[in-house]
Amino acid sequence: MRIRSGGWVLPALLLVALPVWALAQGYSDYATIGTRLQTIARENPTIVTLSTIGKSAGGRDIWVVRVAGAGAVEPDRRPALFIGANIEGNRLLASEAAVAAIDHLLANAAGDFKGVLASNTFYIAPVLNPDGMVAALGSPTADEPRNTTAINEDGDLTADEDGPEDLNGDGFVTVMRYKHPEGTFITHPEDPRVMKQADGFLGEIGQFRIVSEGIDNDGDGQINEDAAGGVVINRNFPHDFQYFTPGAGPWPASEPETIALLEFFFSHRNIALVYSFGSENNLLNLQRGKQAQAALPAKVKIPNRFARFLGIDPEREFTIKEVVAMVRNTPFARGVDVTEEQVALMLGMGPVMSLNGDDYRYYEEISKRYKEMVKETKVDDEARKPKPVLGDGSFASWVYYHYGVPSFSVDIWAVPAPREEKPKEEGLTVEKLKSMSKDDFLALGEEKIAAFIKAQGMEGRVSATMVINMVQGGQTTPAQMAQMIEARAGAQKPADKKGKPEESTLLDWAEKNVPGGGFIAWTPFKHPTLGDVEIGGVKPMVGINPPVAEAEKIIAPNVAFAVKLAEQLPRIEIADANVTALGAGLYEVEAWVVNHGWWPTALRHGITNRAVPPIVVKFEMQGGELLNGQVINRIPTIAGHGRSQKLTWIVRGAKGAKIALSADSAKSGADAETLVLP
Q: Kindly state the smallest distance separating residue 258's Cβ from other proteins, in Å.
A: 8
Which region among 7-15, 151-159, 182-190, 361-369 touches other proteins (by CB under 8 A)?
151-159
Q: Name 645's bridge partners.
A: 593
Which region among 35-43, 68-76, 454-462, 624-632 touches other proteins (by CB under 8 A)?
624-632
**219 CB-near residues (< 8 Å, 6+ apart):** none
Which region among 154-162, 323-331, 470-478, 557-565 touches other proteins (by CB under 8 A)?
154-162
Residue 568 or 608: which CB sits closer to other proteins?
Answer: 608
From residue 471, give the alpha-carbon distance in Å to each of 434, 449, 477, 480, 485: 14, 12, 6, 10, 15
Residue 616 sits in the site that holds other proteins (CB under 8 A) = yes
Q: Kindly state the smallest distance separating residue 292's Cβ from other proteins, in Å.
A: 14
Which of residues 165, 552, 664, 673 is near other proteins by CB under 8 A? Answer: 664
Q: Kindly state the smallest distance separating residue 164's Cβ from other proteins, in Å.
A: 19
Give the separation between CA 228 and CA 269, rounded to whole angstroms.
36
Residue 351 sits in the site that holds other proteins (CB under 8 A) = yes
Query: What amino acid occupies position 288?
Result: R
Residue 608 sits in the site that holds other proteins (CB under 8 A) = yes
What's 47's DSSP letter? Answer: T
Give the separation between CA 12 and CA 624, rounded to whole angstroms.
54
Spell out a b/e string for 134-149, using b for 16 or more CB atoms within 10 Å of the CB, else e.
bbbbeebbbbbbbbbb
Spell out a b/e string for 61-71, using b for 16 or more CB atoms within 10 Å of the CB, else e.
bbbbbbbbbeb
Residue 610 sits in the site that holds other proteins (CB under 8 A) = yes
Q: Kindly state the smallest distance separating residue 353's Cβ from other proteins, in Å.
A: 11
Q: Kindly state the smallest distance separating residue 572's Cβ from other proteins, in Å.
A: 14
Residue 350 or 460: which CB sits closer to other proteins?
Answer: 350
x/- string (CB under 8 A) for other proteins, residues 235-264? ---xx---xx-----xxxxx----x--x--
Residue 15 sits in the site that holds other proteins (CB under 8 A) = no
Residue 280 near residue 387, CB atoms below 8 Å: yes
Residue 482 or 666: which CB sits closer to other proteins?
Answer: 666
From residue 239, give the alpha-carbon distance in Å to each of 145, 252, 282, 402, 479: 21, 8, 16, 7, 29
Q: Kindly state the smallest distance separating residue 326's Cβ from other proteins, in Å.
A: 21
Q: Report residue 594: phi and psi, to 5°.
A: -105, 140
Residue 194 or 233: which CB sits closer to other proteins?
Answer: 233
Residue 58 sits in the site that holds other proteins (CB under 8 A) = no
Widest distance between CA atoms in the chain? 103
Give the separation between CA 19 and CA 23, rounded to whole angstroms.
8
Residue 344 or 482: which CB sits closer to other proteins?
Answer: 344
Residue 350 or 528: which CB sits closer to other proteins?
Answer: 350
Q: Report residue 64: phi and psi, to 5°.
A: -130, 130
Residue 139 or 222: which CB sits closer to other proteins?
Answer: 222
Residue 292 sits in the site that holds other proteins (CB under 8 A) = no
Which of residues 348, 460, 515, 528 is near other proteins by CB under 8 A? Answer: 348
Strand order in the sheet with 407-410: 48-55, 61-67, 121-125, 80-85, 271-277, 407-410
Give the separation between CA 575 and CA 572, rounded to whole angstroms.
9
Nearest-10 crossing angle of helices 30-43, 92-107: 10
The radius of gyration of the chain from alpha carbons, rounded to an integer in Å, stands at: 29
**85 CB-near residues (< 8 Å, 6+ apart):** 91, 94, 95, 97, 98, 124, 125, 126, 127, 128, 276, 277, 278
Give the separation between CA 250 and CA 255, rounded to whole angstroms.
9
Residue 225 or 280: which CB sits closer to other proteins?
Answer: 225
Q: Kindly state the smallest distance separating residue 350's Cβ from other proteins, in Å.
A: 6
> By rule CB under 8 A, what count of residues binds other proteins?
38
Query: Minimal CA–CA distance to 606: which of 573, 565, 576, 639?
Result: 639
Residue 308 sits in the site that holds other proteins (CB under 8 A) = no
Which of residues 350, 515, 528, 583 is near other proteins by CB under 8 A? Answer: 350
Residue 333 or 345: which CB sits closer to other proteins?
Answer: 345
Which of residues 29, 76, 143, 156 is near other proteins by CB under 8 A? Answer: 156
Residue 613 sits in the site that holds other proteins (CB under 8 A) = yes
Residues, the chain, total? Answer: 678
Residue 64 or 248: which CB sits closer to other proteins?
Answer: 248
Cα–Cα–Cα angle for 626, 631, 634, rounded to 5 degrees: 145
Residue 521 sits in the site that holds other proteins (CB under 8 A) = no
Q: What is the dihedral of CA 84, 87, 89, 92, to 10 degrees?
A: -30
Residue 614 sits in the site that holds other proteins (CB under 8 A) = yes
x/- string (CB under 8 A) for other proteins, residues 376-405? -------------------------xx---
x/- string (CB under 8 A) for other proteins, residues 193-232? --------------------------xxxx----------
Query: Minimal CA–CA distance to 84: which of 63, 61, 112?
Result: 63
Residue 144 or 162: which CB sits closer to other proteins?
Answer: 162
Residue 256 or 597: which CB sits closer to other proteins?
Answer: 256
Residue 266 sits in the site that holds other proteins (CB under 8 A) = yes
Residue 155 sits in the site that holds other proteins (CB under 8 A) = yes
Residue 142 sits in the site that holds other proteins (CB under 8 A) = no
Residues that bind other proteins (CB under 8 A): 152, 155-157, 219-222, 238-239, 243-244, 250-254, 259, 262, 266, 345, 348, 350-351, 401-402, 608-611, 613-614, 616, 630-632, 634, 664
